[in-house]
């Protein structure tokens, strides 16, 4: 090859390098540079060689061929390391990286004392890889022991045959048991380790989270539950679980770690970063599990006794709006709505305290205003309104109207309001708006403007018919009547915390507005206490305790018509009267009985209030207002006033009292008290009515 041709080829190659650089074809540039370098080397090398010895010439040719191969290898290395490195890295990752999806635990739900009402536990699925199983030496022995110890159900030979058949088909998965708990997991792992197959994915455990509910028969319709709604992840579908889903749900993330992909084992030196805490938040409810149990127990007993179609109850702190307990029963199991928040009822006579309180507050009446109800009937717009009892007639004071639950008296009180004023009363008590309780799908009343009321509308509403509200609206408004006059927003969740106990959000009592003045509230408490002592709520009396309340017996309506002999019996009460701590509403829907009296609020509902008061006062150590003290010569006397040792001391009957009440009775005496157990007094020594003048020690056993 002549010199000019060689120079021409070198120029062409240089031009190619320039063009590849211009068009940014860098891999071609590298190839051309390497070829150019090789050609320059050959050009100058052979230019200097003058010898013509064939052996030496063949040696130089072979070395040039080797050098050319080296340049090809260099080109390939540059291509892999610089230009194709990303593709190779991805290929390596696809073969060695393990993707692990992680999700935080769902938050727990507690009552106000920390009792878990909804929580997540670890459950495990025991499975086998048939392909690996048939290749293992000890898999069949481990399987046999797992079956013998009842961790796997089934016949050993039949199951072994099935797994071997699946293994021959190269199948990779068969579930053996899906409900292994933490204790069983540890024992299963010991068996797998014993046969040397733990961690080899021959027989293995896979963890899952399972939601559990405490006493779901009591809390199901309040706490709610989780289920599949829009995707593959479970989420809250109703109740508290649904409303607070964004707080309760744990966060989801995934991380990539290097390891042995086929075994799913990460390398010890691999780095993987993830968020520190993926867990959901915990909810702390205002619900008191002890009060919930009492309320549920008493309502259930009366529900069965009256053979009612439905029964529901709610307990609230009237001074804050905290909902302390809820309960309901129904025969129609297909209906999953919670009637306390989502069903409307005609409240009946339990509504009367609201109207009377508003009339007192607006000075339209006084506590002693008299009303002539005649023979117990009144005619309004060609419709006769009657008393529920024939004994109610003549002249009644405001106090008597409430105590005897006079319908005619309430109509006369309602007449003192214009339609607009009466409508304002209902608005003030929040009966036309949602309470804004933190429970989903709360129902609100339909607001018919006063100008569209028919003639009887105001008259019937004055005694609780012709208006539909939820039980929650009723008890919230009633609480405003007896708590000093403040309408509070009810709530179920007291606070939200993270897993370290740090409070993320706290719900505090919210005062919506003042509806009546404190003096009117005090009068209403006194009048409703009289209703318990002498009126329609007499069956709610509890000896030694001041209880107030009002019963209701509303006609049951269906498709806009009242059904004969079917009623809604209810009671709303509170205690202690002087400073209310608890408001209770109990409703029985269509209670059964031989006579109207058996279906009324005074008979069907009032006794439940009394039983609840008895149990709650003992549970919460609320002292009786008339505790039986030590008797001295027939007179009630406390030990602190005993000076004369010649007087006869009589041992009182302590059964049913709390430890605090017993200590208070003997406070200041020289008698030693030995108190065993917790609860209320079950046994005592000395016995009641025994002389204890020389007694130095009294033994009390609580249960």
Q: What is the pLDDT of residue 641?
A: 36
Q: What is the pLDDT of residue 639?
A: 43
The 8-class DSSP code of residue 614 comes to: H
Residues of the chain with pLDDT under 70: 1-6, 46-53, 94-103, 231, 253-277, 559-560, 624-649, 667-669, 693
User: What tokens were used for 296?
Assistant: 């549920």
The 8-class DSSP code of residue 640 comes to: G
Decide: 415 and 373 in contact? Cβ < 8 Å: no
Query: DSSP secondary structure string, 324-388?
Result: EEEEEEES-TT----HHHH--B--GGGGHHHHHHHHHHTTSS-TT-EEE-TTTEEEETTEEEE-S
What is the domain partition of the chain in residue ranges? 3-83, 100-269+276-285, 289-619, 631-702
- Give residues with Cβ within 8 angstroms of 515, minimum separation 6: 357, 358, 361, 428, 429, 477, 480, 481, 485, 486, 487
CA distance 147 to 128: 13
Q: What is the pLDDT of residue 640?
A: 38
Q: What is the pLDDT of residue 629?
A: 39
Quick one: how many helices (H) and strands (E) in the chain?
23, 29
What is 289-619's CATH topology? Beta-lactamase (3.40.710)
Q: 101-127 burial, b for 16+ CB within 10 Å, e for fewer?
A: eebbbbbbbbbbeebebbbbeebbebb
Q: What is the CATH number of domain 631-702?
A: 3.30.10
Which overall architecture, per CATH, does domain 100-269+276-285 show? Alpha-Beta Complex (3.90)
CA distance 553 to 465: 10
Q: What is the pLDDT of residue 101?
A: 62
CA distance 676 to 702: 6
Q: Residue 510: is the preceding peptide bond cis (ω within 30°)? A: no
CA distance 275 to 571: 53
Q: What is the pLDDT of residue 266?
A: 54
CA distance 487 to 522: 15
Give, in order, the Cα–Cα distances in Å from 426 to each of 276, 311, 318, 354, 550: 52, 25, 19, 9, 19
User: What tokens were used for 462?
Assistant: 């004055």
pTM of the model: 0.73
Query: DSSP secondary structure string, 422-480?
Result: HHHHHHHTTTTS----SSTT--------GGG--TTHHHHHTTT-S--B-HHHHHHHHHH
- Give residues with Cβ within 8 angstroms of 78, minimum separation 6: 30
Query: DSSP secondary structure string, 538-590?
Result: GGG--TTS--EEEEEEEEEEETTEEEEEEEEEEEEEEE-SSS--EEEEEEEES
CA distance 175 to 193: 20
What digits encode the pLDDT tens for the residues 37-74?
Answer: 877 777 777 666 665 567 777 777 788 788 888 888 88
- Give residues with Cβ within 8 angstroms of 573, minimum separation 6: 528, 532, 537, 540, 547, 548, 549, 550, 583, 584, 609, 613
CA distance 160 to 154: 10
Closest CA to 283 of 510, 509, 435, 491: 491
| Chain Cα centroid distance, residue 134 | 48
CA distance 92 to 254: 19
CA distance 222 to 209: 22
């Amino acid at each position: 090859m002549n010199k000019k041709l060689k120079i021409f080829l070198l120029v062409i190659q240089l031009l190619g390098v320039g063009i590849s650089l211009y068009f940014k074809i860098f891999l071609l540039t590298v190839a051309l540079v390497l070829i150019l370098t090789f050609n320059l080397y050959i050009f100058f090398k052979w230019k200097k060689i003058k010898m013509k010895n064939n052996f030496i010439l063949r040696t130089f040719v072979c070395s040039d061929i080797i050098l050319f191969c080296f340049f090809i290898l260099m080109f390939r290395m540059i291509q892999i390391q610089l230009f194709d490195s990303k593709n190779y890295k991805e290929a390596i990752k696809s073969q060695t990286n393990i993707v692990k999806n992680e999700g935080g635990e769902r938050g727990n739900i507690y009552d106000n004392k920390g009792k878990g009402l909804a929580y997540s536990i670890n459950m495990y699925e025991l499975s086998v890889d048939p392909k690996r199983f048939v290749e293992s030496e000890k898999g069949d022995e481990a399987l046999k022991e797992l079956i013998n110890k009842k961790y796997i159900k089934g016949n050993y030979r039949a199951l072994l045959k099935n797994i071997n058949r699946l293994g021959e088909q190269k199948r990779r998965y068969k579930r053996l048991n899906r409900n292994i708990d933490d204790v069983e997991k540890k024992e299963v792992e010991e068996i797998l380790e014993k046969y040397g197959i733990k961690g080899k994915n021959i027989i293995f455990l896979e963890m899952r989270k399972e939601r559990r509910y405490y006493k779901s028969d009591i809390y199901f319709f309040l706490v709610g539950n989780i289920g599949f709604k829009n995707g593959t992840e479970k989420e809250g579908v109703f109740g508290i679980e649904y409303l607070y889903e964004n707080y309760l749900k744990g966060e989801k993330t995934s991380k990539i770690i290097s390891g042995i992909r086929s075994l799913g084992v990460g390398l010890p030196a691999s780095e993987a970063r993830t968020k520190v805490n993926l867990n959901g938040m915990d909810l702390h409810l205002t619900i008191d599990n002890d009060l919930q149990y009492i309320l549920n127990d008493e309502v259930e007993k009366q529900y069965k006794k009256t053979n009612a179609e439905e029964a529901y109850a709610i307990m609230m702190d009237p001074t804050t709006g905290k909902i302390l307990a809820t309960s309901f029963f129904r025969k129609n199991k297909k209906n999953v709505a919670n009637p306390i928040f989502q069903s409307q009822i005609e409240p009946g006579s339990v509504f009367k305290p609201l109207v009377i309180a508003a009339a007192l507050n607006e000075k339209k009446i006084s506590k002693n205003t008299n009303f002539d109800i005649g023979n117990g009937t009144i005619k309004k717009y060609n419709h006769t309104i009657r008393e529920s009892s024939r004994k109610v007639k003549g002249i009644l004071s405001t106090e008597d109207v409430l105590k005897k639950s006079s319908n005619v008296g309430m109509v006369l009180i309602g007449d003192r309001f214009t339609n607009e004023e009466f409508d304002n009363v209902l608005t003030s008590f929040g009966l036309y708006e949602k309470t804004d309780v933190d429970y989903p799908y709360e129902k609100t009343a339909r607001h018919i403007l006063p100008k569209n009321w028919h003639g009887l509308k105001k008259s019937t509403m004055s005694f609780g018919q012709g208006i539909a509200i939820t039980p929650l609206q009723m008890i919230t408004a009633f609480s405003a009547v007896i708590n000093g006059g403040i309408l509070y927003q009810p709530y179920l969740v007291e606070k939200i915390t993270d897993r370290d106990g740090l409070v993320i959000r706290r719900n505090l009592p919210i005062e919506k507005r003042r509806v009546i003045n404190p003096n009117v509230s005090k009068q209403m408490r006194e009048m409703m206490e009289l209703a318990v002592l002498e009126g329609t709520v007499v069956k709610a009396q509890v000896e030694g305790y001041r209880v107030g309340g009002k019963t209701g017996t509303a006609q049951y309506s269906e498709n806009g018509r009242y059904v004969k002999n079917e009623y809604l019996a209810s009671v709303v009460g509170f205690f202690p009267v002087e400073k209310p701590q608890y408001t209770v509403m109990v409703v029985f829907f269509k209670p059964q009985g031989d006579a109207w009296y058996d279906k009324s609020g005074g008979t069907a509902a009032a006794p439940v209030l009394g039983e609840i008061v008895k149990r709650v006062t003992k549970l919460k150590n609320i002292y009786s207002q008339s505790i039986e003290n030590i008797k001295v010569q027939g007179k009630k006397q406390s030990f602190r006033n005993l000076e004369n040792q010649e007087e006869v001391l009589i041992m009182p009957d302590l059964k049913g009292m709390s430890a605090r009440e017993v200590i208070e009775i003997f406070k200041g005496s020289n008698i030693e008290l030995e108190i065993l157990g917790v609860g209320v007094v079950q046994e005592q020594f000395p016995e009641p009515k025994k002389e204890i003048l020389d007694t130095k020690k009294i033994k009390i056993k609580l249960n």
